[in-house]
Amino acid sequence: NESVLIAPSVLSADFTRLGEELESIANADLVHYDVMDGHFVPNLSFGTEILRQAKAATKLPLDVHLMVTNPEEQVPWYLEAGADVVTFHYEAQTHADRLVGLIHDAGAKACVALNPGTPVVALDAILDELDMVLVMTVNPGFGGQSFIPGSIGKLRALRRMCAEHGVSPLVEVDGGIGADNVGEVVAAGANVIVAGSKVFKAADHAAAIEELRRNGAM
């Protein structure tokens, strides 16, 4: 009975009450923090100052998902602001290996994200260095989108690749996940579940987290 980690995305929180929103998800495992720069994705969210404030307002580790161009410039800002896990997009950078090293040197966990259109083989050369892989299950940019069904085959392909390499990084899924499909993604290989709208638009956030945890247990 292996348990999954639940990472609510504060992108769907009420920003005018961020402290209370963070308290309401204290039973989660991570706080997922979506940084959007208006270039890599067609939307803007929040940056380092709000991360710093969030860090002071929760005991949970901060899982920072950088949907930004030129992450090499920005990763140090987020490490300094308190990120515990830093995710950059494979599609957004040139020196993935160097960037992973920089994250590790700062004592944080390193994760690379793949857009739905990027095959898992893109990670073949750096897979062994990664603490986590993020398989996007929607095209990044907005909360509340529908899960892309092709993600299931991709999760299975990632698990095969990990087995060939003899490694077992965490596998995170992000976008369109709820109580109805969490079991399916976990069965295909995911063990870190991001959920934005399904947690923060629920009447009881803690109960929504427990439901994801229950339905994701295998």
- Among 4-12, 48-56, 154-162, 179-187, the segment contacting ligand DX5 (CB under 6 A): 4-12
Beta strand 132-136 pairing with 109-114:
parallel
* 47 appears as a binding residue in the annotation: no
* Residue 32 in the binding site for ligand DX5 (CB under 6 A): yes
**Which of 22, 21, 34 is closest to 58 using CA atoms?**
22
Question: Token match 């300094």: residue?
Answer: 80
Is residue 74 within 8 Å of 44, Cβ to Cβ? no
Catalytic annotation present for 174: yes
Among 38, 42, 101, 144, binds ligand DX5 (CB under 6 A): 144
Single out the catalytic residue among 14, 29, 34, 37: 34
* 178 appears as a binding residue in the annotation: no
* Residue 142: strand, helix, or coil: coil
Number of residues that bind ligand DX5 (CB under 6 A): 22
Is residue 46 within 8 Å of 35, Cβ to Cβ? yes
What does each C-alpha distance from 101 to 38, 83, 98, 127 come to in angstroms?
26, 15, 5, 13
116 binds, among Zn ion, ligand DX5, none (CB under 5 to 8 A by kind): none
Residues facing residue 172 across a β-bridge: 134, 192
- Among 93-101, 156-164, 175-183, 202-210, the segment contacting ligand DX5 (CB under 6 A): 175-183
Residues of this chain that bind ligand DX5 (CB under 6 A): 9, 11-12, 32, 34, 65, 138, 140-145, 174-177, 194-198
